[in-house]
C-alpha cells in the first residue's frame, strides 16, 4: 500500500503533539513548514521529520505531499485550507475549521470541485466510546435520547494580548472551547439542532468570555451548552435517555463513561484508548482519502459551524477581519 505523506502547516504546540503521537503504518509526517526556514528546521529536527520548508508555498509545491495538516491559529485556517486545496492537497484542519459558515461553504465547494478530502481534526467524531454508548443504548433499552447537558470551562488570564482574548487573533470561548462542546452534542444527536436561544458576556477586549446556548432538533432532543473562558468547569457531557443517563467526563478524548440507571445503580462503559485519540481521527481521514469510507464528519462540522455562526450573529459579535454579512 502506498504511504500517504503529510505536511504540517503551522508549528505551534498542537503541531508538536501531532508529530509526537502520529503513528500510522500507511502514513508518515513527511515535512513541516514555517515562514522561517530556521524555525521549520528546528521543528523537523526535534521530531525526526525528513523535510523542512521555509514557506508554506514551498511545501505546497512539493508533489510528494498528499495531505496538509493545518495547525495555524484558527483565524488563518481558511487561507491555509484554500491554498492547500488549490495546490491539489487533501486538508485536515485543526478546529475550529474556519471562522464562520461563509468560509466553510467556500472551502467545501473548492474541495468538491478539486475532488479532494476536507475534514476537521475533531477527536470526538472518532472516539470508539461514542459508538459503544449508542450500542449500549439499544442493548440496554435505554430508550430515546431526550436531552444533553454539556459544559466546558477553562481558566485563562484576562489578558487582551494573548490569543484567548485578542479579537485580532480570533479570541473568545466559542471558537476555542465551544467547538468541542457543540461537537459532542452534535455527535450524539440524531438530527441537526437549531439554536433556540443564547446569551453571552463579553470580555473587556470584546470577545466572548462566557455564554450559554439552548438547542433543539426535529426529534425534540434538547441541548444546553455552558461555556466560560475565565472559570474552570468540568469538561462533562450528560446524555439523558428515557431509562437512564450517561455521564462522559473529559469528553474531547474519552475512553469510559458512567451509565446511571433509574434505580440509581451505575455501570462503566468502556471503549478505545484516550491516549490514541489523535490516531483514530488520522486513521479515519486516511481511509477517506483512500476511498475506503465516506467523509461522514464534514456534515457534523458544518452543523456545528452553523450554530457557532448563528450564536455570534445573535450577539452581534463580528471579528475585526470579518464582515457582518459573513455571519448570515
What pLDDT score does 312 carry? 98
What does DSSP say about strands 222-228 and 266-270: parallel, antiparallel, or unpaired? unpaired
3-state secondary structure of 177: helix
Q: Report yes or no: 154 and 228 within 8 Å, Cβ to Cβ.
A: yes
Rounded Cα–Cα distance for residues 202 and 315 (Å): 9
What pLDDT score does 133 carry? 98
Roughly what angle, to the nearest 10 degrees, separates helices 37-47 and 13-21?
Answer: 30
User: What is the CATH topology of the domain spanning 4-122?
Assistant: Rossmann fold (3.40.50)
Q: Supply 16's cell numbers.
A: 508538536
- The CATH number of domain 124-327, selected from 1.20.1440.130, 3.40.50.1240, 3.30.360.10, 3.10.20.90: 3.30.360.10
What pLDDT score does 146 carry? 98
**Do 4-122 and 124-327 share a fold?**
no
Spans of all domains in the chain? 4-122, 124-327
- For residue 198, the cross-strand partners are 213
Residues 6 or more apart from 182 whose CB is under 8 A from it?
A: 150, 213, 225, 304, 307, 308
Query: pTM for the complete prediction?
Result: 0.97
Q: Which burial class, exposed, middle or buried, applies to 62 when counting CB atoms under 10 A from its CB (0-12, 13-18, 19+)?
A: middle
Q: Which of 17, 21, 4 minimizes the C-alpha distance to 67?
A: 4
Query: Which residues in the chain show pLDDT less than 70?
Result: none
3-state secondary structure of 271: coil
Rounded Cα–Cα distance for residues 92 and 210 (Å): 29
What pLDDT score does 242 carry? 98
| Residue 96 preceded by cis peptide, ω within 30 | yes
What pLDDT score does 67 carry? 99
Q: Is the dihedral of CA 137, 141, 146, 152 positive or negative?
A: negative
Residues 6 or more apart from 111 whose CB is under 8 A from it?
A: 85, 91, 117, 118
Q: Which of 153, 304, 299, 143 minimizes the C-alpha distance to 221?
A: 143
* The dihedral formed by the CA atoms of 162, 167, 173 and 174, expressed in degrees to the nearest 10: -150
Rounded Cα–Cα distance for residues 190 and 188 (Å): 7
What pLDDT score does 262 carry? 96
What pLDDT score does 287 carry? 98
What pLDDT score does 238 carry? 98
Rounded Cα–Cα distance for residues 156 and 158 (Å): 6
pLDDT above 90 coverage of the chain, percent: 99
- For residue 268, the cross-strand partners are 258
* The dihedral formed by the CA atoms of 272, 276, 278 and 284, expressed in degrees to the nearest 10: -50
Amino acid at each position: 500500500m502506498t504511504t500517504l505523506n503529510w505536511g504540517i502547516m503551522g508549528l505551534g504546540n498542537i503541531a508538536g503533539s501531532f508529530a509526537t503521537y502520529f503513528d500510522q503504518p500507511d502514513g508518515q509526517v513527511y515535512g513541516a513548514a514555517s515562514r522561517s526556514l530556521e524555525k521549520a528546521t528546528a521543528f523537523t529536527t526535534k521530531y525526526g521529520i525528513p523535510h523542512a520548508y521555509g514557506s508554506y508555498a514551498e511545501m505546497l509545491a512539493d508533489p510528494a505531499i498528499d495531505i496538509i495538516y493545518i495547525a495555524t491559529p484558527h483565524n488563518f485556517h481558511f487561507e491555509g485550507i484554500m491554498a492547500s486545496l488549490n495546490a491539489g492537497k487533501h486538508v485536515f484542519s485543526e478546529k475550529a475549521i474556519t471562522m464562520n459558515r461563509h468560509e466553510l461553504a467556500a472551502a467545501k465547494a473548492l474541495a468538491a470541485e478539486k475532488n479532494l478530502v476536507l475534514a476537521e481534526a475533531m477527536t470526538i467524531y472518532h472516539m470508539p466510546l461514542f459508538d459503544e454508548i449508542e450500542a449500549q443504548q439499544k442493548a440496554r433499552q435505554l430508550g430515546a435520547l431526550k436531552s444533553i447537558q454539556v459544559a466546558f470551562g477553562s481558566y485563562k488570564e484576562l489578558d487582551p494580548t494573548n490569543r484567548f482574548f485578542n479579537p485580532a487573533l480570533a479570541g473568545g470561548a466559542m471558537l476555542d472551547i465551544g467547538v468541542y462542546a457543540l461537537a459532542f452534542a452534535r455527535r450524539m444527536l440524531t438530527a441537526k439542532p437549531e439554536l433556540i436561544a443564547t446569551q453571552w458576556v463579553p470580555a473587556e477586549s470584546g470577545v466572548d468570555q462566557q455564554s450559554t446556548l439552548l438547542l433543539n432538533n426535529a426529534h425534540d432532543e434538547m441541548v444546553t451548552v455552558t461555556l466560560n473562558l475565565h472559570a474552570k468547569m468540568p469538561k462533562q457531557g450528560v446524555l439523558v435517555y428515557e431509562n437512564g443517563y450517561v455521564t462522559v467526563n473529559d469528553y474531547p478524548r474519552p475512553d469510559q463513561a458512567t451509565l446511571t440507571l433509574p434505580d440509581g445503580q451505575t455501570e462503566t462503559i468502556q471503549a478505545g484508548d484516550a491516549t490514541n485519540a489523535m490516531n483514530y481521527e488520522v486513521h479515519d481521514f486516511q481511509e477517506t482519502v483512500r476511498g475506503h469510507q465516506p467523509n461522514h464528519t464534514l456534515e457534523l462540522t458544518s452543523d456545528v459551524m452553523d450554530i457557532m455562526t448563528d450564536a455570534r450573529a445573535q450577539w452581534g459579535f463580528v471579528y475585526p477581519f470579518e464582515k457582518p454579512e459573513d455571519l448570515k
